[in-house]
């Protein structure tokens, strides 16, 4: 394969409330040298302003910066010519750029436009219209995956286990259907990255349920998804490829470091708030210890879910395993986080792939699909 290919790594600059993220990215879209120092400064500022004493640093909004930096280094080491482009929610400028300086491949890290996740799919649709190869899922899969109740309908129809659920819109009466029993978990229906998930999301009474459903409506202006809470282990399955996707070793979130009064879930804090008990107490391990039968069932369900939602090149399917060892799919993540430290890269490493090989395989997969069209 020619290593002279030009790859544009496209991302959309996140909008961060009290960190001036513009400081992190130079005019030409390149990441500035030491984003950490700026982030620490921002955290100190946040801490100074806050009356609480937790000096936690929220990295959710800047996670994509680390990710693209890791990807750029990996692609550079493979000999590709790479450019990072900040879409900055300016779609006409993006179109002009793609016309004037058409890359051979787009590494698509755009997750939203003007903070609107549902716009993610429209950006992928633009690449389609311009006929430029790009990595990851197409518009339909990206849009479907953001609609969690729809994903659950599809999985259920095809006999893949997912927790029993019910959706409440703001105008609905909050009455549980038959078979829904406490404890339940209440989530926004169209978010990702553990947004809106905390210990309070798990409810054990009608009053708590009402409170949380209303909180989701008020905060996110979207239906609340109420699911049967699955006590047990949490597993992630990374899948790589499109024409011949391969399931990488199953990984597990080890919750044993969490304080005993916290629920064993990947809350927003656990995922993003560096320095909190939740963050420190959750750790990814790979491979997960499973019986051969459990592992076979999980891998099979993950691959089926990958195909049903229309994932390509790379995706991650999240599971909970009941205390009796029965796996349930929580959600399907097309274009998951592939930072060098993220779960996907850990699974790939366990399978024997270096980080650059993993990133390179995603590009190869996108090109292989493209060339077969």
Ligand X SMILES: Nc1ncnc2c1ncn2[C@@H]1O[C@H](COP(=O)(O)OP(=O)(O)O)[C@@H](O)[C@H]1O
Q: Which residues bind ligand X (CB under 6 A)?
A: 163, 185, 187, 191-195, 197, 227-230, 234, 265-266, 318, 320, 330-331
Shortest Cβ 306–ligand X spacing (Å)? 16
Shortest Cβ 291–Mg ion spacing (Å)? 24
User: With respect to ligand X, which residue has the nearer C-beta, 104 or 192?
Assistant: 192
Shortest Cβ 312–ligand X spacing (Å)? 19
Shortest Cβ 33–Mg ion spacing (Å)? 32
Find which of Mg ion, ligand X, none residue 347 binds, CB within 5 to 8 Å per kind: none
Q: Whose CA is closest to 251, among 238, 266, 268?
A: 238
Copy the structure tokens of residue 295: 């592992």
User: With respect to ligand X, which residue has the nearer C-beta, 103 or 336?
Assistant: 336
Out of 191, 318, 337, 364, point to the residue binding Mg ion (CB under 5 A): 318
User: With respect to ligand X, which residue has the nearer C-beta, 120 or 331?
Assistant: 331
Given a contact cutoff of 8 angstroms between Cβ atoms, the answer to whether 15 and 117 are in contact is no
DSSP character at residue 337 = -
User: With respect to Mg ion, which residue has the nearer C-beta, 127 or 268?
Assistant: 268
Counting every residue, how long is the chain? 373
CB within 8 Å of 151: residues ≥ 6 apart: 144, 145, 162, 309, 331, 332
Find which of ligand X, Mg ion, none residue 297 binds, CB within 5 to 8 Å per kind: none
User: With respect to ligand X, which residue has the nearer C-beta, 70 or 318?
Assistant: 318
User: With respect to ligand X, which residue has the nearer C-beta, 82 or 201?
Assistant: 201
313 binds Mg ion (CB under 5 A): no
Given a contact cutoff of 8 angstroms between Cβ atoms, the answer to whether 178 and 206 are in contact is no
Shortest Cβ 255–ligand X spacing (Å)? 9
13 binds Mg ion (CB under 5 A): no
227 binds Mg ion (CB under 5 A): no
Find which of ligand X, Mg ion, none residue 366 binds, CB within 5 to 8 Å per kind: none
252 binds Mg ion (CB under 5 A): no
Measure the CA angle with vertex 355, ends 112 and 281; round to 5°: 70
Shortest Cβ 194–Mg ion spacing (Å)? 7
* 333-to-37, 112, 138, 228, 315 alpha-carbon distances in Å: 31, 15, 13, 20, 6
Q: What are phi and psi of 287, to 5 degrees?
A: -80, 155
329 by DSSP, 3-state: which?
strand
User: With respect to Mg ion, which residue has the nearer C-beta, 105 or 258?
Assistant: 258
Shortest Cβ 32–Mg ion spacing (Å)? 30
Lookup result for tokens 């708590």: 208
Q: State the sign of the Cα–Cα–Cα–Cα dihedral 156, 159, 162, 165.
A: positive
Find which of ligand X, Mg ion, none residue 31 binds, CB within 5 to 8 Å per kind: none
Starting at the earlier edge strand, list the strands of the sheet with 81-86.
81-86, 6-11, 105-108
DSSP character at residue 18 = S
Q: Which residues in this chain contact Mg ion in the complex, by CB under 5 A?
A: 318
């Amino acid at each position: 394969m020619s290593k002279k290919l030009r790859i544009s790594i496209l991302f959309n600059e996140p909008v961060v409330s009290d960190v001036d993220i513009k400081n992190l990215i130079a005019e030409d879209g390149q990441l500035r040298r030491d984003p950490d120092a700026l982030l620490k400064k921002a955290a100190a500022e946040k801490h100074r302003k806050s009356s609480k004493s937790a000096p936690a640093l929220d990295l959710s909004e800047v996670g994509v910066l680390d990710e693209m930096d890791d990807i750029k280094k990996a692609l550079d080491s493979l000999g590709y010519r790479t450019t990072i482009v900040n879409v900055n929610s300016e779609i006409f400028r993006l179109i002009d750029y793609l016309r004037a300086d058409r890359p051979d491949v787009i590494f698509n890290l755009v997750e939203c436009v003007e903070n609107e996740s549902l716009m993610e799919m429209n950006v992928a649709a633009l690449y389609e219209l311009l006929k430029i190869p790009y990595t990851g899922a197409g518009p339909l899969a990206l849009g479907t995956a953001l609609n969690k109740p729809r994903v659950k309908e599809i999985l259920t129809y095809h006999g893949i286990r997912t927790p029993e659920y019910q959706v409440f819109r703001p105008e609905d009466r909050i009455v549980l259907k038959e078979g829904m029993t406490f404890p339940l978990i209440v989530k926004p229906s169209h978010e990702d990255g553990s947004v809106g998930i905390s210990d309070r999301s798990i409810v054990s009474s009608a009053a708590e349920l009402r409170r949380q459903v209303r909180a989701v409506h008020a905060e996110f202006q979207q239906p609340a998804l109420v699911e049967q809470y699955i006590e047990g282990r949490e597993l992630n399955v990374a899948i790589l490829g499109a024409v011949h996707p391969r399931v990488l070793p199953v990984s597990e979130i080890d919750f044993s470091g969490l304080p005993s009064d916290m629920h064993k879930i990947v809350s927003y804090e656990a995922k993003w708030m560096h320095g909190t008990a939740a963050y420190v107490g959750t750790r990814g391990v790979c491979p997960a210890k499973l019986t051969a039968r459990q592992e076979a069932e999980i891998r099979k369900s993950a691959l089926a879910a990958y195909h049903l939602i229309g994932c390509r090149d790379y995706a991650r399917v999240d599971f909970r395993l009941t205390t009796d060892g029965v796996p349930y799919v929580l959600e399907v993540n097309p274009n998951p986080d592939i930072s060098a430290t993220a779960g996907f890269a850990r699974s790939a490493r366990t399978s024997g792939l270096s980080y650059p090989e993993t990133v390179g395989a995603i590009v190869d997969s996108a090109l292989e699909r493209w060339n077969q069209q």
